[in-house]
Amino acid sequence: MVALQLPVNLVGYYKRSSEAKCSSVSPVDLCTHFLLVVVLLISVPGILRSAVDHSSPADLRKQRLYFGALHQLLLLPSNQGLPYQHCHLKGGRSGRKKRDMRKLSLLSVILLLLLGSHHGVEATGGFIETRGLHFVLNGSPFFANGFNAYWMMTLASDPSRRDKVSSALSDASRHGLSVARTWAFSDGGSTALQYSPGAYSEQIFQGLDFVVSEARKYGIKLILSLVNNYDSFGGKKQYVQWARDQGENIGSDDEFFTNPVVKGYYKSHIKTVVTRVNTITGVAYKDDPTIFAWELMNEPRCPSDLSGKSIQEWITEMAAYLKSIDNKHLLEAGLEGFYGESSPQKQSNPGFQVGTDFISNNQIPGIDFATVHSYPDQWIPDSNDRSQLSFLRNWLDIHLHDACDVLQKPLLVTEFGKSCKDPRFSNDERDAMFRTVYSKVYLSARTGGATAGSLFWQLLAQGMDSYRDGYEVILGESPSTTRVITLQSHKLRTIAKLKRAKAMNGKH
């Protein structure tokens, strides 16, 4: 409404100005009049563009503030408008000084909001890159406070339920969350994206298109995982079964990593997803900066080969293949962070091996950053809360050290959480776990370390009871946890701004 009133107000302002009794030109009036014209010329194209592109809630709030300040400026009485001439007004020199200060204050607000909105566009556009130990976006530091929401493609493929995706992304954006990790796979089953090798459901694919489009709308970057280690949503077991159906003699599901036919199926899936052209935005996934990174597999494990050779060779081959198709996006392997049998750090593992190695797997060319997961309540379930927090701190410290000193790559904590299904669960204990992860991330970010962010498991919208797994977070349902999450968003944004300002000062 304010925006629609502006042309009328502008005409009224000029009419009032011409009717004022004036004798000389005020430097402040000339300056503010000139700046007002510049502001309008700069802002109108952006306003029109945002109407077409569907501004995020944060952008809309900035626009309302911007228009409110401009609206006040144009509604000033005729003796307080912005005429070319300086008017003889009641109050004399003191009155003129107050009016001048008000004009300059309002224009300062307008200009700051305008510059801030342009900076916001720059902050969410562009591809995430790595620079040494850090993520950068458009040359500025980028820190991730985010979440997992594996379910988004499935719900978005059903028009009657896709509002849950919009609601979750809107809530996340409102609380400062900037990265979401979700599945770009569903192999076999009733809601399959890929229902047989190389054959895809267009309806499900359009659900993923919607997820990418909505994430762009709300300024959230996506990590898209390409296959599951586990049976849910098909996973490696489904790929192996497809190969068996074609006559392949395959024993263990772990042959997913070594069988040539299965590997061919998976490469075909990589190519299909990465080169997909979004039916909503018209942008190919490989060209869309909304995507933060690709993930080769959710939690790869190969317990039949604890030497680590099978997974090491598989990651090497698949990383090279994906990068040959898309060299714009970052790539990570999807690792939980376990150390291999030959690693001296293996004693930090929670008592088991899975055929991966945090060091050698992440040293593979094409793997741009390391990942780590942490579920002390699953990994050491017989320990008390204090012991689990102690394990968590040590787990994060070891991986932070190795990412910084050995890998020399950024580290992202891509999964962590605490289940409310544990009989000992309390919100206080979950908050303590979140604060432990967040404090490690914050300290690393503040001091230039390798840990660049964390993503909790998992975010749900209201009305998704069937998706509750015990780890769910519904923003606002648990006020204390929501406050912990929101505070971390604020702290990481502040660090990014300070580092950006410091870098700018260093250039001058």
Q: How many CB atoms lie within 10 A of CB 139?
A: 11
Residues counted in the chain = 508
Instruction: Please state, in angstroms and rounded to a whole number, the distance separating the CA atoms of residues 374 and 217.
Output: 30
- Residue 338 is classified by DSSP as P
The catalytically annotated residue of 214, 415, 429, 472 is 415
Cβ contact 504:497 at 8 Å: no
| Beta-strand runs (E) in 277-391 | 291-295, 330-332, 370-374
Return all residues near 449 (Cβ < 8 A) that are at least 6 apart: 133, 400, 404, 443
Chain-centre distance for alpha carbon 142: 10
Q: How many CB atoms lie within 10 A of CB 148?
A: 25
Token readout for 404 is 């910084």
Cα atoms in the Cβ-side hemisphere of radius 13 Å centred on 492: 29
Residue among 240, 368, 392, 354 nearest 296 (CA): 368
341 in catalytic set: no
Chain-centre distance for alpha carbon 322: 22
Token readout for 9 is 């107000």
Identify the three-state secondary structure at position 202. Answer: helix
Q: How many CB atoms lie within 10 A of CB 394?
A: 11
415 in catalytic set: yes
The catalytically annotated residue of 299, 332, 336, 429 is 299
- Residue 459 is classified by DSSP as B
Q: How many CB atoms lie within 10 A of CB 185?
A: 24
Alpha-carbon distance values, 179 to 83, 116, 149 (Å): 48, 21, 10
- Residue 276 is classified by DSSP as P
Token readout for 375 is 């579920």
Instruction: Please state, in angstroms and rounded to a whole number, the distance separating the CA atoms of residues 2 and 70.
Output: 9
Beta-bridge partner residues of 200: 194
Active site residues: 299, 415
